[in-house]
Amino acid sequence: MQPETILGPEWKRGTNGNVSAISMTPDASFVAAGCEDHDVYLMNYSGKLLWASTTGDTVQFVKISDDGRFVAACSMDNIVSYFNKTGELLWTFRIGKRINAMDMTPDGTLVVTGSDDGVIRAFNDKGIVIWSKDCQKPVNSICISSSGSLIIAGASNNKAYLFTKDGQVRWEYQAQSPVMYVYTSSDGEFSYVLEFSNNTLHQLSERGAELSVNSYSQRITDISITEDGRFVAIGFVNSYVYFTDKNGSVQWKQTMSGPVEAVKVTPDGSLVYAATSDKAIWILNKNGNLLLNKKFESVPNCIATTIDGDYFVANGLNTVYFFAIARYLEYIVREQAKMVRMMKEGDKRENCMVDKDGKRMATYPGAPEKGVNTCRLCGAPILESRTLCNYCEMMQRRPH
């Protein structure tokens, strides 16, 4: 079944600059967006703009707490900004060099950054650095577990670190090249480390021991992992999306319409969203079937979803788009069920069209005794329910 092109946004909200970062609460009640106009925007479920507050430069990262009470952002002037639910700026902190990564705990009480100065910094809700780690080389990736109890970081010193919330190092992992992507599951049972130089993804245990390692020949453009760490979606520059289990065994792979710019798997693993360079988002189910797609005015490289994927947001130039896709998925299920039912009915008719000797009977006088129905006058292939093709039927209706 071809993917449906019927998907449309529930609402869209324009901003004064191109959208560069998006975050959404797990229940889709609030959406935060960071933009090139230096502003952070907060919208509610219906698309109403609740506030817009400024930072000092283009917003690189934005994260909203699960209850929508706090929003953290990092801008290109190397400033961390922290807002409350009314848009009031509670605190800022300037870092000496470029900020490469940021994440915030679900309750909004801890913000962690990694920067080119090689330092991982953890801020409390008052803006005080409560612990830090000097990695000597640029810190490239930060991820806080969905439980908020663990922080994993990757750096250009070829190492990945797993910390407790209070900054205690649980383990260090030595890679062969700079670590560009890290992820840890809710309980830390599974963690992932992606190396920069060789497209190698390592799966680690809760103690930092290597459980599996998988290398890929094509350049990886993005990775997304389920909340429990058991499934991984990988986007590639050669237009493929892979969906693997925790050991790297490919469950399915799908060719997209262009190089994959961003990929997002829902926390429960039920849906995969892939943004491609031809300005489209494709929605796939857990079996890799293409369900829906949507064209945008630019590459939608920022995607956020709810746990089950019923709602998602994406960017397109200076616009935030909000989608509710449950009814579209219900429509697809109905259409698939209808198709299966028609096929079964067709098989039943085929089985009935045989004589006592098992020979297929003609559906009408003069019809061919073959599997394909054809026009009884000219022999052109036609639908099973018809006896004449359009042309012959038209000629018979013409006055003689």
- Mean pLDDT of the 83-104 span: 97
- Mean pLDDT of the 257-263 span: 96
Q: Look at residue 400 in the predicted model and tell me its pLDDT.
A: 46
What's the mean per-residue pLDDT of the chain? 89
Domains and CATH numbers, the chain: 11-325 (2.130.10.10), 334-397 (no CATH)
| Helix and strand element counts for the chain (H, E) | 2, 32
For Cα atoms 39, 181, 62, give the angle at the middle one, nearest 5 degrees.
Answer: 15
Residue 263 in tokens? 């990929």
Query: Order of strands, edge to edge, in the sheet holding 39-44?
Result: 19-24, 30-35, 39-44, 49-54
The verdict on pTM exceeding 0.85 is no
pLDDT tens, 283-294?
999 999 999 999
pLDDT tens, 350-361?
555 555 565 555
Give me the helices (H) in the chain, please.
326-352, 390-397
Closest of 102, 70, 65 to residue 83, by C-alpha: 70
Phi and psi at residue 218, to the nearest 5°: -95, 155
| Top-confidence residue, 72 or 380 | 72
CA 278/CA 322 separation, integer angstroms: 20
